[in-house]
Structure 1
């Protein structure tokens, strides 16, 4: 066991957080801190320099655990294990897209927690040695710097993972409402034909479609699609650039 490793707990239910802290101490780990919001978690990461983060997906405030984990990966490159009572498909796909080091469904047993932590720490140590590609993370981080275009990152099955402000403005929505939805939900159904299949594994969006914003505005757009390849060349998602026509 990697004794003495510091672990940050991000959990907005204090009773659960205290139970996890007690379990970690019993297993020989050090509790770096306890946060109830994503913003507080980022602050504590800077202050305490943990070795691993246990992150609840549903948090208080505007930033959920998945968004907080994205920022942790972008800024600190630390292993994150998601803790959640929610195992629905959309939540799972959003979580997987962040490339977490583990995913535990509540309630979990001490042994499950221990095994997940040890495996995550071991995998992270190996990753630090070989420095594999981090293309998905870099693309998601770079979205905020793209100007003049509307860009989104979607999972291989068409779930929106990240979007820049231009894309949110085009769809008249915000990041919180856009992420977790299927990209096909924003495409007008009357523009779909046999030649324009929805995004699923193995198929990509058509080039020219009409989209309907959250407020009902319909616009014709051109969509350019690029593959996002991860380790060993496996497709981890798509980058979509949407241009009004």
Structure 2
């Protein structure tokens, strides 16, 4: 969807109409189509803020818990994954149930849905890492308050190449935050990071994992001890 078309849709009230359909319709087809349209709109920063301010994450999360249709879940997960790419919205996204909905959708068993969930984790972790590096946020990752590390570790050997790539990136970015060090050391995530640094099919991810391990003195000591 071109940016100009997106602007026109939003200006003419299309976003509000889509959100209203999510909240009021009981038609599964409408849920799927509306979620897909919102996912497209959620690729734009300004639209992301609008979607969140109008309760979009809450509505998407409710649909996620209502449906077992893989196509609808893929659209909903894609929309939330796009919202995960805006660090300013992370606290609200978590409070509105978006992260919980992602992990719930991961249990669907559908590879396309799981790939979108993994992309959401990678987007969230990358934005958090960037925010921490630039001093815009402090503290342990919001993802770690849920079951992120457990889920990421369990799915690092996914048969889907795109899911593996997103998970490897998520782990690398989460590891860049020193406040997550203890979680990595105690959960097995550090072991996965070491494996990624050697075995990832992508050279850029192997290099990112190696750099992350090298920069953290506790990681370095743990790796040398093993």
TM-score when normalising by structure 1: 0.28
TM-score when normalising by structure 2: 0.29
Structure that is richer in strand per residue? 1
Structure that is richer in helix per residue? 2
Larger Rg: 1 or 2?
1
